[in-house]
């Protein structure tokens, strides 16, 4: 096993050109298998599908997550396929293995009252108050990704019609509605704060820093976290949380999933369907709390 493992790692490095990190990950998976085979007194030539399934089952019992088991299964598959192709084994015992389904983690969200608390905690008259209110309102109003908000330019905003043109993943452009409160906050920022931040080097980016430059993603993350901390919100707040809240609250309000998909810029409806799980969790919780026999 050790000799074949070393040959396989060299193959990944020289012929496939895979990274050191990937090689290390594969080595860890196969080292665990090698130790298990030694413990069970099973030689590599006698490894079958049942033995590999038993190894994975034991790994699961030790607390390995579904995601890690999935990666381990992939490593077993590529290793034993390589052995079979080089006629080191008569057959590929890993071929029938099924990788565990990935765990579906539900996105965190904020209550509407918490978002109101977050925005209300900012005094518009304080330095950069109008800008930060506009940023938070737009995140929640339109469900933008962080990169999309960073890249917004003045020419992409139609204040009269209440829309923005956004360039999202895959360089795809979509038109997104901006709510009345977000529009009002943006108008206030553009009229009463942005002009004082502009200098000769300023581009047409909508949101700019005290130096007149476009805000970086890291800086916007920092702004959101700092504002949440000052508002007394203990939950970990980040820009994507506002996007999740936007989608969840639309769904709770009765919006069609296809509409939410379009607003979020998801190319596949399956990505949007995670929010139906959030809504079902909420309904289950309410039923348990409010129904006499919940």
Q: What tens digit of pLDDT does each residue of 157-171 get? A: 999 999 999 988 878
Displacement of CA 146 from its chain's centroid (Å): 11
Displacement of CA 45 from its chain's centroid (Å): 42
Our answer to whether residue 227 is catalytic in this structure is no
Query: Mean pLDDT highest for which of 90-99, 168-177, 182-191?
Result: 182-191
The active-site residue, picked from 10, 57, 169, 280, is 169
Question: Quick check: pTM over 0.75?
Answer: no
- Please tell me the predicted confidence (pLDDT) of residue 28: 94
Do residues 166 and 176 lie in contact, with contact meaning Cβ atoms separated by under 8 Å? yes
Q: Within a 13 Å sphere around the CA of 91, how many CA atoms are in the beta-carbon half?
A: 8
Our answer to whether residue 194 is catalytic in this structure is no
CA angle centred on 147, ends 231 and 222, rounded to 5°? 30
Q: In what order do the strands lie in the sheet with 163-167?
A: 157-158, 163-167, 173-177
**Tens of pLDDT along 112-121?**
999 999 999 9
226 sits in which H/E element: helix 217-230
Over the chain, what is the mean pLDDT? 89
**Tens of pLDDT along 223-278?**
999 999 999 998 889 999 999 999 989 888 888 888 888 889 888 887 787 776 65
Our answer to whether residue 240 is catalytic in this structure is yes
The active-site residue, picked from 59, 75, 131, 145, is 145
Three-state DSSP state, 92: coil
Q: Is 286's pLDDT higher than 80?
A: no
Our answer to whether residue 238 is catalytic in this structure is no
Higher pLDDT pick, 64 / 163 = 163
The active-site residue, picked from 227, 243, 244, 249, is 243
Q: Is 29's pLDDT higher than 90?
A: yes
Domains and CATH numbers, the chain: 2-85 (1.10.150.130), 112-290 (1.10.443.10)
Our answer to whether residue 169 is catalytic in this structure is yes
Query: Who contacts 125 (Cβ-Cβ below 8 Å, separation ≥6)?
Result: none
Residue entry with tokens 């970990």: 236
- Please tell me the predicted confidence (pLDDT) of residue 293: 66
The active-site residue, picked from 117, 165, 221, 266, is 266
Our answer to whether residue 145 is catalytic in this structure is yes
């Amino acid at each position: 096993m050790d000799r074949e493992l070393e040959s396989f790692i060299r193959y990944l490095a020289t012929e496939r050109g895979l990274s050191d990190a990937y090689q290390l990950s594969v080595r860890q998976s196969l080292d665990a298998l090698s130790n298990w085979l030694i413990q069970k007194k099973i030689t590599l030539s006698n490894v079958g599908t049942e033995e590999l399934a038993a190894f994975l089952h034991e790994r699961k019992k030790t607390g390995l997550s579904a995601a890690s088991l999935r990666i381990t299964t992939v490593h077993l598959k590529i290793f034993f396929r390589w052995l079979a192709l080089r006629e080191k084994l008569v057959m590929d015992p890993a071929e029938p293995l099924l990788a565990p389904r990935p765990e579906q983690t539900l996105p965190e969200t904020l209550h509407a009252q918490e978002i109101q608390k977050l925005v209300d905690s900012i005094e518009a008259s304080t330095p950069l108050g109008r800008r930060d209110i506009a940023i938070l309102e737009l995140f929640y109003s339109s469900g933008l990704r962080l990169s999309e908000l960073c890249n917004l330019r003045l020419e992409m905003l139609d204040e009269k019609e209440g829309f923005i043109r956004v360039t999202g993943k895959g360089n795809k452009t979509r038109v997104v509605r901006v709510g009345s409160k977000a529009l009002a906050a943006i108008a206030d920022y553009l009229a009463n704060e942005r002009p004082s931040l502009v200098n000769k080097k300023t581009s047409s980016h909508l949101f700019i820093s005290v130096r007149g430059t476009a805000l970086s993603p890291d800086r916007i993350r920092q702004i959101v976290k700092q504002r949440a901390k000052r508002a007394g919100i203990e939950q970990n707040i980040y820009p994507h949380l506002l996007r999740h809240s936007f989608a969840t609250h639309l769904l709770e309000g009765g919006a069609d999933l296809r509409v939410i998909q379009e607003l979020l810029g998801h190319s596949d409806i399956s990505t949007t369907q995670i929010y139906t799980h959030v809504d079902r969790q909420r309904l289950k919780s309410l039923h348990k709390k409010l129904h006499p026999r919940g």
